[in-house]
Amino acid sequence: EDKVVQSPLSLVVHEGDTVTLNCSYEVTNFRSLLWYKQEKKAPTFLFMLTSSGIEKKSGRLSSILDKKELFSILNITATQTGDSAVYLCAVESGGSNYKLTFGKGTLLTVNP
């Protein structure tokens, strides 16, 4: 059975802090790893990672994948209150079916 484990499950920081969110996985037929931000409703796409060691960046957010050790990290620098959300890690697996297996998420709270 495919498994995705995120840590920590929750995190409280002050504005301006840097945070690192972790995601480890065990899946058959790995295709990619994705990060999503979930505020009140839809998971919003952040990054899709398919290759080891290549950092993806978008503003203050960055992510990297290690396919040998089967994990990924999501970094957020200079956090803002608007970064408060649940961050979901999901792994895409399977032959041609592209289904996602999600972790439980990390609830990030950024206090002013």
Partner 1 sequence: EPEVTQTPSHQVTQMGQEVILRCVPISNHLYFYWYRQILGQKVEFLVSFYNNEISEKSEIFDDQFSVERPDGSNFTLKIRSTKLEDSAMYFCASSTTGGPQHFGDGTRLSIL
23 exposed, middle or buried (CB, 10 Å; 0-12, 13-18, 19+)? buried
Instruction: Tell me how far, at minimum, the Cβ of 90 lies from partner 1, in Å.
Output: 8
Number of C-alpha atoms within 13 angstroms, CB side, residue 65? 19
**Which residue, 22, 2, 21, is CA-closest to 91?**
2
Nearer to partner 1, 30 or 102 (CB): 102
When binding is defined by CB under 8 A, the residue of 42, 53, 58, 69 that contacts partner 1 is 42
Nearer to partner 1, 47 or 79 (CB): 47
Instruction: Tell me how far, at minimum, the Cβ of 81 lies from partner 1, in Å.
Output: 22
